Amino acid sequence: MTTPHPPQASPTRATRKILIAGGGFQTAFIRYMAALTGRPRPRICYLPTASADSAANKIAFYGYCASLGVEPYVQDSFIESLSQTKGWDEVLLSMDAILVSGGNTLNQQAIWKAQGIDVVLREAWDRGIVLGGASAGSLCWFEEGTSDSRPKALSVVQCLGFLPGSHSPHYDAEAGRRPMYHQLIGAGTLKPGYACDNDAGIYFENGEIARVVASRDGAKVYYVSVVDGQVVERVLEPERID
């Protein structure tokens, strides 16, 4: 008689971590992102696809990191194979955190999908590499949200879907954001979701809110949904980070 093998223990899944801000992902947020890695000197990769690999933004990123105990790295998306000798997976999966720039979310998503970067980012998330960003760098992780990526007016974009629901960045900084977000959610065009003022954000663990934070007094986060046929905006008061 064959003795059955004992059941195998399921491998422990890494905690999936995403830190977003409505705008202004600068030194305070990068410091918090670094702490979330649990590493003494984490490698933080800046991925400026949405800004078309803007040189000014890359210089700013290095400036924000200058006072922090981190190892900053930049990975361009507009590359060619003679100088880009490592694959997206070799670079991104070697990092402790990946910070995504602001810019044009629609173009960002198209480039990521064409290059397969979206697949690598999903693996990074599954491995527990901290993901994050502001503006296009916050919107990109949700199912959908509002963006200025097209001509003439704010519009809806579809994104990676790592986080459920919708998102609106720059909630206090651009006059059209709040009324459009309310209108789209009220009409059922957008799923309920999270709106973030500039300098305010959310840390998600495994798709759930773990902490609401802000680097500026007065900056807030909101959950916007429909209750009894009416759009309701619930304030999520943040903790201050510096």
What residue ranges do the domains of the chain occupy? Answer: 17-240
CA distance 161 to 93: 20
Measured in residues, the chain has a length of 242
- Residue 12 has a pLDDT of 63
CATH of 17-240, one of 3.40.50.880, 3.40.50.720, 3.40.50.920, 3.30.110.30: 3.40.50.880
The backbone region for 44, taken as left when phi is positive above 0, alpha when psi lies in -120 to 50, beta otherwise, is: beta
Q: Is residue 187's pLDDT more than 70? A: yes
**Over pLDDT 70: what percentage of the chain?**
95
Cβ atoms of 103 and 135 closer than 8 Å: yes
Q: Is residue 10's pLDDT more than 90? A: no
Q: Is residue 5's pLDDT more than 50? A: no
- Residue 154 has a pLDDT of 85
Work out the average pLDDT over 210-230: 97
Active site residue 135: yes
- Residue 85 has a pLDDT of 93
110 or 148, higher pLDDT: 110
CA distance 10 to 156: 39
Cβ atoms of 233 and 182 closer than 8 Å: yes
Model pTM score: 0.93
Active site residue 51: no
Catalytic residue, candidates 147, 170, 182, 215: 170
- The amino acid at residue 108 is Q
Catalytic residue, candidates 51, 135, 149, 168: 135
44-81 per-position pLDDT tens digit: 999 999 999 999 999 999 999 999 999 999 999 999 99
